[in-house]
Amino acid sequence: MPQDVHTEIIPYEDWLFVNDLIQRSRWVFAKTMPENPHYYMLRKECDDGEFVRFAELIRQYGYQYQYEGYWYTVLNVYDWYYWTMGALIEETILINRKERKLNSEIPNDTASEIYRLPGVSK
């Protein structure tokens, strides 16, 4: 179950940045974990500054979510939620994402409801 869901919404400029990066990134299906269908993007395949900014925004505006005994900080964007594995930012090599519809415990994405952009795919 989610805990400590932030009431602070990601600022609009940061939200625009995250949406743009999500759209431009290559998301790879995690085929080694078919029991937990999700995707990941690799740090080495994108601009390092943009990757770091996204990871920091997840940690700053996300909320705590427990999965199989481990706590993760996740950030909702449209119909997906995003998380890192919790390593230090300088050691973080990927960002994961999973469809919210696959997990009914994940709350709605308030920022995307407020900032919704026409023509942006979910």
Domain presence at residue 16: yes
* Helical (H) or strand (E) element with 41: strand 39-42
What is the per-residue pLDDT for 79?
Answer: 85
Domain presence at residue 116: no
- 100, 112 in Cβ contact below 8 A? no
Domain presence at residue 120: no
Domain presence at residue 69: yes
pTM for the model stands at: 0.83
What is the per-residue pLDDT for 101?
Answer: 76
Supply the range of the domain harboring residue 66. Answer: 2-108
The DSSP secondary structure of 69-109, one letter per residue, reads TEEEEEEEETTEEEE--SS-GGG--EEEEEEGGG-TTSPP-
The pLDDT tens digits for 34-57 are 888 999 999 999 999 999 999 999
SS3 19: helix
What is the per-residue pLDDT for 106?
Answer: 63
| Residue ranges, the chain, pLDDT below 70 | 1-7, 102-122
What is the per-residue pLDDT for 111?
Answer: 65
What is the per-residue pLDDT for 18?
Answer: 96
Indicate the number of domains in the chain.
1
